[in-house]
Structure 1
Amino acid sequence: MNILINLIPIKKGGGQQVATNFIEHISQASDMGFNIYVCCTENTEIHRLLVNADIEKVFAVNNSLLSRAVFSYKEYYTIIYKHSIDVVYTMFGPSLPKAKEVLTVVGCAYSNIFYPEVNFWEKWPLKKRLIAKAIDYYRLKTTLNADAVIFENESMRLRSKNIYDFPSERSIFIKPSVSSHLLKANSLTIKSSERNNIHSTKQILLLTGWHLNKNLQALPNIAYALNLKGVNDVIFTVTISKEHEGALSLIQEAKRLGVENYLNFIGTVSPFELEELYKNSYAVMLLSLLESFSNNIIESWAMKRPLIISDLEWARSICNKAAYYVDRDSSDQVAAAIKNLVDDSLLYNNLVNEGVKELSTYPSPSEKVKLQFEFIKRLHEKGV
Structure 2
Amino acid sequence: MMLVVNMFSVKSGGGLQNALSFLSSLINDDVRSVVVCVRGGHVHRYCEENSLAVFAVWPGILGFLLFHFFHGAYFRFFLGSSLIFTIFGPPPFFSYGARTVSGFAYSNIIQFDVDFWGFLPFKERLVKKIQDFFRLTFCRRSDEIIVETEFLKDKALGGVFRGRMVHVVKMQPSNLLASDSNGTNFFEGVAGKRILYLSGPHPNKRIHLLAKVFSKLSLLDDYKLIITLPHDSDYLRVVNSEFSKFEVSERLINVGPVYQGEISDLISQCDAMINVSLLESFSNNWVESWFFEKPLFVTDSDWALASCRKAASYINPENPNAAAQEIHGVFTDESSVGGLVEEGLRMLIELGVDGSKYSQYMNIIGCHENRGKP
The TM-score normalised by the length of structure 1 is: 0.89
Q: 1:63 offset after TM fit, Å? A: 2.0
Within 1, Cα distance between the matches of 2:79 and 2:68? 16
Q: Residues 72 and 95 of structure 2 are in contact (CA less than 8 Å); yes or no, is this contact kept in structure 1?
A: no
Q: In the alignment, what sits opposite 1:225? A: 216
Distance 1:148 1:198, change over 3 A: farther
Tell me the amino acid that sits aligned with residue 354 of structure 1. Answer: E
* Aligned-residue CA RMSD (Å): 2.4
1:172 to 167, 172, 180: 167
1:257 counterpart letter in structure 2: F
Instruction: Single out whichever of 283-292 and 329-338 deviates more from structure 2.
Output: 329-338
Which residue of 2 is the match for residue 58 of structure 1? 54
Partners of 1:261 and 1:39 in 2: CA distance: 44
The answer to which of 93-102 and 35-44 deviates more is: 93-102
Inter-CA distance 204–380: structure 2 relative to 1 (3 Å threshold): closer
In structure 1, how many angstroms separate the alpha carbons of the residues matched to 2:356 and 2:26?
A: 11
Label 1:132 to 1:107 Cα distance change in 2 as closer, same or farther (>3 A): same
* Paired residues of 1:179 and 1:365 also in contact (CA < 8 A): no
Tell me: CA distance 1:165–1:74, structure 2 relative to 1, closer, same or farther (3 Å): closer
Structure 1, gaps ≥5 residues long: 187-196
Instruction: Give the aligned partner of residue 22 of structure 2.
Output: 22
1:239-266 CA-partner distances (Å, limit 9, x unpaired): 1023322222322332232211011111
1:86 is aligned to 2:69 = no
Alignment of 1:372-383 (within 5 A): 372-377=361-366
Q: How far apart, CA to CA, are the structure 2 residues paired with 1:25 and 1:362?
A: 18
Quote the residue 2:204 is aligned against: 213
Question: Is residue 2:100 matched to residue 1:104?
Answer: yes
The question of 1:370 aligning with 2:365 is answered no
Distance between the aligned counterparts of 1:182 and 1:71, measured in 2?
32
Q: Indicate the residue corresponding to 2:150 in structure 1.
A: 154
Letter in 1 for 2:206: N
Aligned counterparts of 1:354 and 1:6: Cα–Cα separation in 2: 35
SS of equivalent to 1:264: strand
Partner Cα separation in structure 2 for residue 209 and residue 75 of structure 1: 31
Q: Deviations over 1:275-334 (max 9, x none)?
A: 101111111000011111011000000001000000111101100100001123212222
Where in structure 2 are the equivalents of 1:144-293 lying within 5 Å? 144-164=140-160, 166-167=162-163, 170-184=165-179, 200-227=191-218, 229-231=219-221, 233-293=222-282
Deviations 1:96-154 (A, max 9, x none): 12333210110010101111221111121111110111111111222222100111111
Question: Distance in 2 between the 1:198 and 1:358 partners?
Answer: 34
Aligned structure 1 segments of 4 or more residues deviating by more than 6 angstroms = 378-381
Greater length-normalized contact order (CA 8 Å, ≥ 6 residues apart): 1
Letter in 1 for 2:9: P
Could you tell me how far apart the structure 2 residues matched to 1:311 and 1:177 are? 22
Q: Which amino acid aligns with 1:222?
A: V
Q: Distance in 2 between matches of 1:380 and 1:167?
A: 24
User: Which digits, 9 at most, give the CA deviation of each residue in 1:52-85, with x for residues without a partner?
Assistant: 3343x31112222222222322344223311111
**Matches of 1:372 and 1:28 in 2, distance apart?**
15
Change (3 A) 1:166 1:106: same
CA distance in 2 between partners of 1:80 and 1:339 (Å): 57
Checking the alignment, whether the CA contact within 8 Å between 2:70 and 2:94 is kept in structure 1 is no
Total equivalences in the alignment: 364
Distance 2:156 2:341 in 1: 33
Percent of aligned pairs with the same amino acid: 28
Deviation at 1:179, TM superposition (A): 1.5
Which residue is 1:313 aligned to?
Answer: 302
The two structures have a TM-score, normalised by structure 2, of 0.91
Q: Distance in 1 between matches of 2:351 and 2:180?
A: 18
In the alignment, which of 34, 39, 42 is matched to residue 42 of structure 1?
A: 39
1:165 and 1:52, CA in 2 relative to 1: closer, same or farther beyond 3 A?
closer
Name the residue aligned to 1:113. Answer: 109
CA distance in 2, matches of 1:185, 1:291: 26
Separation in structure 2 between the aligned mates of residue 356 and residue 98 of structure 1, nearest angstrom: 43
CA distance in structure 1 between the aligned counterparts of 2:177 and 2:166, rounded to whole angstroms: 29
Q: Which has more helix, going by share of residues? A: 1
* AA aligned opposite 1:134: I
CA contact (8 A) 1:182 1:275 kept: yes
Give secondary structure in 1 for the equivalent of 2:142: coil
Task: Tell me, yes or no, if the aligned pair for 1:95 and 1:104 is still in contact at 8 Å.
Answer: yes
Tell me: CA distance 1:172–1:365, structure 2 relative to 1, closer, same or farther (3 Å): closer
Query: Is 2:327 the partner of 1:338?
Result: yes
